[in-house]
Structure 1
Amino acid sequence: MDKREYTDDYPDKTLYLPGPTEVREDVIDAMAQPMFGHRMDRMTDLYTTIVEDTKEFLGTDNDVIILSASGTEFWEATTLNLVDDSMLCLTCGSFSERQANVAERLGKDVDRIAYDWGQAVDPDDVREALETNDYDVVGTVMNETSTGVRNPIEAIGDIVADYPDTYFVVDAISCLGGDFIDIEKHNIDAIFTSTQKAFAMPPGLAVCVVSDAAYERELENDSASWYGGFQRCLDYYDRKGQTHSTPAIPLMLAYRKQMKYMLEEGHDARDRRHREMAEYTREWARNHFDVFPEETAASQTVTCVENTRGIDVAATIEAVSEEYDMVFSNGYGSQLGEKTFRIGHMGEHTLESIRALTDALEAVADL
């Protein structure tokens, strides 16, 4: 690839992607502060604030790790920290399949319960698998970004709770903060996200909530992750109130600002706002196209629209971008491509802003 010089004169676009999403202007401004050392008291004040505010927002007493990384880091870290030998992966799209692939690349013995894209995990299948096999971990995604499927994490976690030697790991990258989940009630040992999704922060930080049982389990594991190790991260926090390695300080300043907004809104209200946006978007999709996932399993943060009209998705995305300065997403992967397109309704979006996009789509596609 030849160099393409960054010119800094690009038009601003409103993002309706499955992430990154829109970020408040004052949250972006919060990053532009004089630099300070990551071992100074100021860093302790900053990091303890964002960790404890996150616990308060999510309503959890479990430990929270915030690392400078994408959410992908915790695919690797949770696998290394908790899986000795075997993992059961529940796959229903590109990202849940990638979680299984990561575990295999790390040398773990992976069994899959695979579903057609657009279908959600059936908890009864999980119980049947656990009755006949021993697994260190059951892993899946809460929100399959590629297909717009929201899996029944609550029911799956309740089943895994009946098998105390098996741990439950949830990728909630594209929904945590926009779709309520009671972490402790449903036996989730590790659940993680990225800040550029429903948290509505700049990309570059990964967040993982870790149960006491998962922490204790990692202590027994010789192959635990170095960078994302539960013990390494949490023990350093307990001693110093900081991260064990140099963090992206400006991003954490943005995190602090945005998390205050999230606390002000509250988890329940934020969940309700996302649900209203999702219901509107699905109704719009059914009126003009169709919704790709099965009706009872539709995401609260990403709607995957089935292109029943056969519109040129790439051309429509380009036209909406050029004429309205709004950006949404095409279908993900070779399986979906032009067969679907995706609208992210997460973070700080509202019904009004989502209607602005659907109005633009109707005008451009002559719906």
Structure 2
Amino acid sequence: MTKKREYTGDYPDKTLYLPGPTEVREDVIEAMCEPMFGHRMDRMTDLYTTIVEDTREFLDTDHDVVVLTASGTEFWEATTLNLVDDRMLVPTSGAFSERQANVAERLGKDVDRIEYEWGQAVKPGDVRDALESGADYDAVGMVMNETSTGVRNPVEEIGDLLGEYPDTYFVVDAISCLGGDYIDIEGHNVDAIFTSTQKAFAMPPGLAVCAVSDAAYERELDKESASWYGGFQRCLDYYDRKGQTHSTPAIPIMLAYRQQMKHMLKEGHDARDRRHREMAEYTREWAREHFDTFAEEGYESRTVTCVENTRGIDVADTVETVSEEYDMVFSSGYGSIGEESFRIGHMGEHTVESVRELTDAIEDVAGL
């Protein structure tokens, strides 16, 4: 049985290079320290409408936006309940795409998988074959950025394909990349795309963000049941009437969101995307010089590099030593590839220069 371990607050500051949470600006952290106010006051309307409309502007989308107090996992459940009556297609190529399929199954849906080895990317031709098989899919669910393997799936091509199937909704988990990896949401027929604030948005954890198409909203209206907390109708109708959330939100984190979105809008989505590409290119070059990359070539993530441990270093010890000696934290590999790989998160407010500080530390500790 787990025993209490007292939180003392006496811990060294660590620079985070994780696949999330990531580094948060000081002024964003300070924004959470405003005096508390009621979630039904006009002040809340000012706050919530600001973050919602700023998010739409940043993402360059006409889709409605929902910001809920939750992790991104909430929208695995909500999109499934809101859009899927019976059957869903989910390509699986890592831990999180498999989890998306598992969530749908636990909600009582029939799930057809297109299974790939970890490190491989989803292929649009395989999705087309499944759609042309005669199966009647309510939705296709896909992980855009497979955090466990560092694979960036070709969601644009698959979204273009789904344009030929207007009765099949396209649900995209972009939890570990949205905000650092640009996607034209409407242009590629995405009906629901969601993320968590602690990833490429570089905000504190605690909020989930979802952009929802008109078609997805209308689809939920036609269903006999849907998510209560994450229901599109419930969230969006309340926003239209009140400019607020239907349930009590995490107000301090929304204050941080407002502050960080100012920085994101100032930088601009294109520039933010370009900066993340530069970090990804640097990290991949470094990985291939000293190790190798785990992701299939041509499908590498722009926010998380999964490094294949070709040298057989002690990954867990290296992660711990870098943390202790350099106060920098990166991540071991995920699940069954824990010692076969390690992961570097280059997202949010990091730069090539700050990522280089981490790779220099890894070189020193691992004797590269």
Pick the TM interval, shorter chain: over 0.9
Structure 2 match to 1:164: 166
Structure 2 match to 1:87: 88
Structure 2: segments with no counterpart, 5+ residues = none
**Secondary structure of the corresponding residue to residue 67 of structure 1:** strand
**Secondary structure of the corresponding residue to residue 116 of structure 1:** coil
- 1:214-233 aligned within 5 A: 214-233=216-235
**Secondary structure of the corresponding residue to residue 193 of structure 2:** strand
> In the TM superposition, what whole-angstrom CA distance separates every residue of 1:83-138 from its partner, at most 9, and x where no partner exists?
00000001100000000000000000100001110010000111111112210000
> In the TM superposition, what whole-angstrom CA distance separates every residue of 1:22-46 from its partner, at most 9, and x where no partner exists?
0000100000000000000000000
> In the TM superposition, what whole-angstrom CA distance separates every residue of 1:134-184 from its partner, at most 9, and x where no partner exists?
100000100000000000000000011100110000000000000000000
Distance 1:222 1:107 in 2: 15
Task: Say yes or no: does 1:116 pair with 2:113.
Answer: no
Distance 2:178 2:141 in 1: 16
Deviation at 1:337, TM superposition (A): 1.0
Q: 1:322 aligns with which of 318, 324, 328?
A: 324
**Secondary structure of the corresponding residue to residue 215 of structure 2:** helix
Structure 1 match to 2:151: 149
Structure 2 match to 1:287: 289
Tell me which amino acid in the other structure corresponds to 2:191. D
Structure 1 match to 2:276: 274
Structure 2 match to 1:77: 78
Deviation at 1:283, TM superposition (A): 0.2
Deviation at 1:223, TM superposition (A): 1.9
Structure 2 match to 1:341: 342
- 1:8-23 aligned within 5 A: 8-23=9-24
TM-score w.r.t. length of structure 1: 0.99
Tell me which amino acid in the other structure corresponds to 2:32. M
Distance 2:334 2:34 in 1: 37
Deviation at 1:221, TM superposition (A): 1.3
Structure 1: segments with no counterpart, 5+ residues = none
Structure 2 match to 1:7: 8
> In the TM superposition, what whole-angstrom CA distance separates every residue of 1:212-251 from its partner, at most 9, and x where no partner exists?
0000000011220000000000000000000000000000
- 1:19-58 aligned within 5 A: 19-58=20-59
**Secondary structure of the corresponding residue to residue 175 of structure 2:** coil
Across the aligned residues of Structure 1 and Structure 2, the Cα RMSD in angstroms comes to: 0.4
Q: Which runs of 4+ in 1 moved over 3 A?
A: none
**Secondary structure of the corresponding residue to residue 298 of structure 2:** helix
TM-score w.r.t. length of structure 2: 0.99
Distance 1:27 1:349 in 2: 15
Distance 2:10 2:225 in 1: 47
Tell me which amino acid in the other structure corresponds to 1:102. V
Tell me which amino acid in the other structure corresponds to 1:254. A
Task: Say yes or no: does 1:303 pair with 2:305.
Answer: yes
Structure 1 match to 2:100: 99
Q: 1:332 aligns with which of 319, 328, 334?
A: 334
Task: Say yes or no: does 1:125 pair with 2:99.
Answer: no
Distance 1:143 1:329 in 2: 16
**Secondary structure of the corresponding residue to residue 39 of structure 2:** coil
Tell me which amino acid in the other structure corresponds to 1:195. T
Tell me which amino acid in the other structure corresponds to 1:314. A
> In the TM superposition, what whole-angstrom CA distance separates every residue of 1:39-89 from its partner, at most 9, and x where no partner exists?
000000000000000000000010000000000000000000000000000
Distance 1:165 1:352 in 2: 46
Task: Say yes or no: does 1:364 pair with 2:365.
Answer: yes
Tell me which amino acid in the other structure corresponds to 1:137. A
Tell me which amino acid in the other structure corresponds to 1:114. E
Structure 2 match to 1:353: 354
Tell me which amino acid in the other structure corresponds to 1:97. E
Tell me which amino acid in the other structure corresponds to 1:42. R
Q: How many residues align?
A: 366
Distance 1:210 1:79 in 2: 13
**Secondary structure of the corresponding residue to residue 295 of structure 1:** coil
Distance 1:303 1:286 in 2: 11
Tell me which amino acid in the other structure corresponds to 1:257. Q
Structure 1 match to 2:179: 177
Tell me which amino acid in the other structure corresponds to 2:298. T
Tell me which amino acid in the other structure corresponds to 1:83. V
Deviation at 1:302, TM superposition (A): 0.1
Structure 2 match to 1:194: 196
Distance 1:90 1:140 in 2: 6
Tell me which amino acid in the other structure corresponds to 1:38. H
